[in-house]
Amino acid sequence: MFDRSLIYDFMEKHWTLSMMNAVVLNVEQLSRCVVYQYLPYTPIGPQMVEAAVWTPERGIVTTSNLFFLKFNNFHGADFPVTNAIPGMPLIDLKQRRTPDGKIITEGVGREYIMLMEIAKSLNFTPSFKTTHILSESVMNVAQGIAMLMPQRLEMLPQFLKVVDHTVAIDPAPLSFVLPKPKSKPQWQSLYHPFQPMMWVLVISLNLIIPTAFILIAYAGGHMESETGVRTVRVLLWQDQGRLPTLAPSRLLLLGWMIFALLIGVSYRCKLTAFLTVRKFPERPETVQELAKTGIPSIFPTSIPWIRDFFLTSQVAATREIGKNSFFVESAAGGMAAMAANKGANFYERNMIRLSLAENYTNPDGTTDYYIARGTAIPTYGAWFIPHDAPYKHNIDIILFRMIEGGLKDFWMERTIQNAELEFRMKWKAQQHNPGGQTGGNNNSSENVSPGQRQPFTLYQLQGPLWLLTFALMVSIVCFLTEVIVDHVKDK
C-alpha cells in the first residue's frame, strides 16, 4: 500500500508509467483496490487520476476512461525538440526583438513549417534546443532530452540503434557537388556535321565526277583540262565560267550541281549547330561513376557517420568513395574545397543548392557547378524520435497527410525560391553599393543566360581558324619552295 503522493512521484519519474498507457494498482485494503493513471498533459498540467476501483462485491468500476488517448492533445504544453545549424532550407531559427523589447524566436524552412502545423494539430508549444553538430542533436533524442528532431536525416543503421524514426519523408537527401567540366576548344567542328562514311562519299565523288567528265569529253572528241576545277567550283557554289558543250557533260553537271546544293545546305545547317552547341565531357552523376573517376570525396566533420557508412558498405564503389576521402571543418569549408577542385563535396542536396545560390552564382544567374542527379545513399530520410515513443503514431498521421497532399514538396520549393530571391536582392544591393562585393563568380565564360544573345567565340570558330592557318602555312611553304627552285635554276 502506497501513499498517493508517493505514487504520483513514482509514476512521474518512470517513462513507461507516465507516457505509456500503464496503470498502477494500489491495494488500500484487502477488500478494495484503486487503479491510478498518470496524465502528463492536461489543461491544468500533469496530474494523476483515479481511473477505476475494484471491490469483491462489485468487481472493477471505472470512474473515468481506463486508457486515455494521452497524445491527441498536449494542451499547450512545452514540447522539447532539437535541431542542428546550419539547417536551411529545412529548419532555421532567427531571433527578433519586438517593439516592447522582448526577444522572440522565429523559424523558417520546410521542416519548421511542418512542425508548426503538427503543433497546431496536437496543441503543443515547441521549445528548441539548438546544437551545432547533427550527431549531438541525435543524442539529445536518444537520451530523452528532446522528444523530436524535426530535421530530416538518412535512416542509417548507426542512427536506428539509438533512435527511432517517423514515417519516411523524402528519399535520402545526401548528394555531391562538383565543378562543371570545362569544354575544350576543338577544330573538329568542321568535321562533325557529316559522319565518316559521308565524308568518304563526298571525297570519292570529287574524284569520280572529274573522271566521268574526262571520259565523256574523250568519247565526244573534246578534251577539257578544267574538269577537276569545275567539280570543286560546283561543290563550293562558285562561278562556272565556260560551260561544257556536250549534252552528256551538261546533264552530269546539272546532277552534280543539285547534289552539291543539297549537300551544301545540309552541311551549312549542321555546321551552325555544331559551332553554337558545345559538346561537354561526361561528368559523374552517381556514386558508382564518381568512384570510377578517382576524384576524392569531401565530408564535413558534422556528418562522420556518412563516411563510416561508405567504408562499411558491401558495394565496392561505395567503399572506394569512403577510402578516397577526407574531412573538412564545416559545410562551407567543403564547398570552398570543392570550388578549388580538391574533390566532390557530399552534403544535403537542398543545402548545397542554397549554398550555390548564395556564394557560387554568376550575375547572369548561372553557376559553374552542378549537383549530381543520383542519390548517394539508397535509403530514405525521416525525423528522429525516441524508441517506443507513444506519440509517434500521432505525428506520423499528420506527416503522412502532408506528404500525400504534396505540401512537403511545395513548402520546400517555396523556401528555396524565397532564399534564392533574397540572395539575388542582396547581390543587387551590393552592386549599387560601390564597395559591395558578391560571393558569386563573375567571370564565367562557360555559362550563357538563356535570353541573352551571344556572338560567336574563339571556341566556336577555332575550326575555320585552324583551317586558315593550315592554308597559310602551306602557301608559305609553296612560295619558299618556288623561290628556292627559281634561284637554283638561275644558277
| pLDDT(14) > 90 | no
More confidently predicted of 464 and 400: 400
Inter-residue contact 336 to 311 (CB < 8 Å): no
∠ Cα 50 56 59 (to 5°) = 55
Read off the pLDDT of each residue in 50-72 and give the average, rounded to a whole number: 79
Name the residue with higher pLDDT: 401 or 54: 401
Question: Residue 54: what residue type?
Answer: W
| Residue 25 confidence class, pLDDT cut points 50, 70, 90 | low
The answer to whether residue 311 scores a pLDDT higher than 80 is yes
Q: What is the pLDDT of residue 443?
A: 44
Say how far apart CA 222 and CA 406 lie, in whole Å.
83
Are 179 and 339 spatial neighbours (Cβ–Cβ below 8 Å)? yes
Q: What are phi and psi of 284, to 5 degrees?
A: -70, 135
- Which of the residue ranges 54-58, 63-67, 154-158, 192-196 has the most confident prediction, judged by mean pLDDT? 154-158
Does residue 308 surpass a pLDDT of 70?
A: yes
pLDDT in the model for residue 450: 45
The stretch 306-322 carries a mean pLDDT of 89
Mean pLDDT (whole number) for 273-280: 68
List all residues 6 or more positions away from 153 whose beta carbon is below 8 Å from its beta carbon.
134, 138, 159, 381, 382, 384
What's the whole-number average pLDDT of the chain? 79
* The pLDDT of residue 200 is above 80: yes
As a whole number, mean pLDDT of residues 114-123 equals 94
Residue bearing the bigger pLDDT, 349 or 469? 349
First to last CA, the chain: 136
Q: Which residue has the cell 551552325?
A: 272
For residue 361, what is the DSSP state? -
Higher pLDDT, residue 243 or 83 = 83
- Asked which of 46-60, 145-159, 230-244, 405-419 is least confident by mean pLDDT, the reply is 230-244
pLDDT of residue 337: 92
> Within a 10 A sphere around the Cβ of 203, how many other Cβ atoms?
10
- Note the maximum CA span of the chain: 145
Per-residue model confidence (pLDDT) at position 229: 65
Greater pLDDT, 379 or 216: 379
344 confidence band (pLDDT: 50, 70, 90): very high
Per-residue pLDDT, 165? 94
Please report, rounded to a whole number, the percentage of residues in the chain having pLDDT higher than 70: 79
Task: Work out the average pLDDT over 408-413.
Answer: 90
**Distance in angstroms (rounded) separating the CA atoms of residues 353 and 373:** 12
Q: What is the pLDDT of residue 369?
A: 92
pLDDT value, residue 278 = 65
Q: What is the mean pLDDT of residues 52-81?
A: 83
Lowest-confidence region among 115-129, 371-385, 476-490: 476-490
List the beta bridge partners of residue 79. Answer: 126
Residue 123 has a pLDDT of 94
CA-CA distance, 214 to 220, in Å (whole number)?
10
Q: How many CB atoms lie within 10 A of CB 137?
A: 25
Helix (H, G, I), strand (E, B) or coil at 305: helix
Per-residue confidence (pLDDT) for residue 460, from 0 to 100: 58
229-272 residue pLDDT tens = 666 666 666 666 666 666 777 777 777 777 777 777 777 777 77
Dist CA 401 CA 336 (whole Å): 39
- Whether residue 182 has pLDDT greater than 70: yes
Q: Determine the pLDDT at residue 79.
A: 94
Least confident of 163-172, 226-235, 280-289: 226-235
pTM of the model: 0.67
If DSSP codes are grouped into helix, strand and coil, which group holds residue 96?
strand
Angle at Cα 124 formed by Cα 123 and Cα 130, nearest 5°? Answer: 150
Highest mean pLDDT among 67-76, 137-146, 304-313, 437-446: 137-146
Residues 6+ apart with CB under 8 A from 98: 104
> Alpha helices, DSSP H only, in 294-370?
304-311, 316-323, 331-339, 349-359
Q: Residue 208 pLDDT > 50, yes or no?
A: yes
- The SS3 of residue 486 is helix
Q: Which residue has the higher pLDDT, 471 or 330?
A: 330
pLDDT band at 80; cut points 50, 70, 90 = very high
Question: For cell 550555390, what's the residue?
Answer: 356
What integer pLDDT is reported at residue 447 of this predicted model? Answer: 47
